[in-house]
Amino acid sequence: MEKTDREGENVMQALFDAVNAICGKIQVVSDLFWEFPTNFGWYAAIPILGNFSLAIILLVGTGIFLTFRFRFVQVRKFKYGLKVLLHSKAATKTGISALAAFLLSTAMRVGPGNILGVTGAISIGGPGALFWMWLSAFFGMSTAFAESTLSQIFKEKRDGQYVGGLPFYGRRLLNNAAWAGVALSVLYIVYAFLCFPAQGFNTISAVGAIANEITGTTIATNSTLYWISFVVLILIAALISFGGIKKVTKVTDLLVPVMAVIYVLTVVVLVVCNFTRIPWFFQAVFGQAFSPDAVFGGAFGTVLSQGIKRGLMSNEAGQGTITMPAAAADANHPCDQGCVQAIGVFLDTIVICTLTGFVVIMGRMWTTDRAAEWFDMGKLDKFLASCGELTGQSAKDDNDADAGECAGEASTDDVCNAADGIAVGVRGVNQRDSGDQAKNQRNGHDGKKRMDFQLADGVDHQRDGKNEYDDKSNTCHRITNLPSFSGVF
C-alpha cells in the first residue's frame, strides 16, 4: 500500500514538474512579447517610454485613436449597451443571445488574474497602479467596440451557426488572403494550448488552497487531491468544449453570474466593515498614481507600466480573443455587440479588478510591522494576508503566535502566566481603544494608535514590563436609436 502511494506521489510530482517546465517555456515567449524592446538596455534607458513594450504602445495607442475617432463611443453608447443586455433576445438556431455572448466573453476575461495580477501590480507599483488600470480600460473599451463590431460585420454561417472573429475579418480585410486566415487561426490554436497549462494549474492550485483552509493543514502538491482535481478538470473541460458553443454558453450563463455575485458581495462586506479606510483608499490611488511611495521604488514609470500592462492583460481588449464569442451572437445590428463587449471591459477591469484593489490597498500591509514578510509572499498569499488584515485575523494570528512562542521557550509557571497576562492586557487595551478610537476620529485621526502597557506577575498590565499593541482590528470593517455605421465610423 505504501509502495502504491509513493508511486502515485511520484507520478503526480512528475506531472507537476512537466507543467512547470512547459510554463517556464511559455513564460519565455510571453516575456518576449510583452517586454520587447524593454529588454534592450538602450531602450530601457529612455525616460518613461523605456518602461513600455511595443505591444503595450500599440494596444494603448490604438485605444486612444479609436476613442477620438469614434467620438468617445464608450461613453456615448454605454447606456445603450446596457439596454441591449437587458432586452437581449433569446438564442436562435443560428446564434446565441447578446447576453450569452457577453457572459461567455466575461468567463474568458475574468479569472485568477483579476486577483493575482492586480495584487502583483499593486505590490510592485503601489496603489497608483490601479488608476492606470482604469485609464487603460477606458481606452480599451473603444478597442473592444471596434473588434467586436468587425466580428459581427464579417461573420459567416457554418453548419447553420454563426462563426467569426479576428481570423475571419482579418482575411476579408486583407483582400481575402487565405494565408492570413490560416495564420491567424493557427496563432489562436497555439495560444489556447499555451494558456491551458498555466490556467489549469491556477485552477488546481485554487482547489488546494481551499482544501488547506478547510482542513487547517498544508496539503502536498503531489497528493491524491491534486491528481483527482486535475483529472476532473480535464474531463469537465472536454465535455463542455466538445458540446459546441451553445453548450458552453449554458455553463457560462450559470457560472459567471454566480462567480461575480459571490466575489462582489464578499468584497463589499469587507469594504463596508472597513468603511473608515475608504477615504484613504482613494487618496492612495490618486495620490500615488504619479508619485508612488518610496517602499514601491518611488518611480513613476514603474507604477505607470504596471497598471497599464495589468489592465490590458486582464480585459484582453485588442488581443482578438473576445471576437469569437462576439461573432457568434445573433445581434440586430453589428454595433450592438460592440457596445456590449465594451461593457465587458468595464466589468472586468473597472469593477472586478477594482474590488481586488479595495482589498489589497485598504489592507495596507506595507505599512504594518509585517511589511517585509508581505513583500516576500506570493501573490495569492499577499491577497489573503490583506483579507486577514481587514477581518482582524492578522492581529489574532500575531497574538496566538506570541503566546505559542512563550509556551515553547519557557516551562516555568511565571512566564506562562505572563502570556495569559498579555491576553488580559490586550483585551483591556481593546476595550479602552473603542472609546479612544472614537475620540481620535473626532480629532481627524485614522483611529490607529500605539500603546505601551506594563505587566507584572503576568496579571497587572499597569506595572512592570512593556508591550506594544497596534489596534487595526477593531474597525468592523449609467441613445435611444440604433447606431449607424456612418454615425459611428
Whether 478 has a pLDDT exceeding 70, the answer reads no
Q: Grid coordinates in use for 401?
A: 503566535
β-bridge partners, 106: none
pLDDT band at 12 (very low <50, low <70, confident <90, very high): low
Q: What is the mean pLDDT of residues 85-112?
A: 81
Task: Return the pLDDT at 137.
Answer: 95
Task: Return the pLDDT at 91.
Answer: 65
Residue whose cell numbers read 461573420: 155
Condensed to tens digits (0 to 9), the pLDDT of residues 418-477 reads 334 433 343 443 444 444 443 344 343 343 333 333 333 333 333 333 333 333 333 333
**416-437 CB burial, b ≥16 within 10 A, e <16:** eebbebbeebbeebeeebeebb
Q: Which residue has the higher pLDDT, 425 or 99?
A: 99
* Percent of the chain predicted with pLDDT > 90: 34
Q: What is the mean pLDDT of residues 323-338?
A: 91
Whether 139 has a pLDDT exceeding 80, the answer reads yes
CA dist., res. 12 & res. 18, Å (int): 10
Condensed to tens digits (0 to 9), the pLDDT of residues 167-208 reads 999 999 998 888 999 999 998 888 777 776 666 666 777 787
- Rounded to two decimals, the pTM is 0.74
pLDDT band at 10 (very low <50, low <70, confident <90, very high): confident
Task: Return the pLDDT at 305.
Answer: 85
Q: What is the mean pLDDT of residues 45-55?
A: 86
Whether 1 has a pLDDT exceeding 60, the answer reads no
Q: Across the chain, which distance is largest between two alpha carbons, in Å? A: 88
Condensed to tens digits (0 to 9), the pLDDT of residues 220-278 reads 777 778 778 888 888 888 888 887 778 888 888 888 888 888 999 999 999 999 999 99
pLDDT band at 136 (very low <50, low <70, confident <90, very high): very high
Task: Return the pLDDT at 396.
Answer: 55
Task: Return the pLDDT at 280.
Answer: 94
Q: What is the mean pLDDT of residues 297-322?
A: 85
67-71, 141-145, 281-285, 378-382, range with the lowest pLDDT: 378-382
Q: What is the mean pLDDT of residues 141-169?
A: 91
* Residues 6 or more apart in contact with residue 296 via CB below 8 angstroms: 123, 124, 125, 126, 288, 302, 303, 366
- Residues 270 and 77: beta-carbon distance below 8 Å: no
Q: What is the mean pLDDT of residues 325-338?
A: 91
CA dist., res. 242 & res. 237, Å (int): 8
Half-sphere exposure (Cβ direction) of 292: Cα atoms closer than 13 Å: 28
CA dist., res. 206 & res. 201, Å (int): 8
CA dist., res. 62 & res. 142, Å (int): 9
**361-386 CB burial, b ≥16 within 10 A, e <16:** bbbbbbebebeeebeebebbebbbbb
DSSP class of 38: T
Task: Return the pLDDT at 431.
Answer: 41
> Cβ of 247: how many Cβ atoms within 10 Å?
13
> Cβ of 475: how many Cβ atoms within 10 Å?
18
Task: Return the pLDDT at 197.
Answer: 64
Task: Return the pLDDT at 9.
Answer: 66
Task: Return the pLDDT at 318.
Answer: 86
Task: Return the pLDDT at 236.
Answer: 87
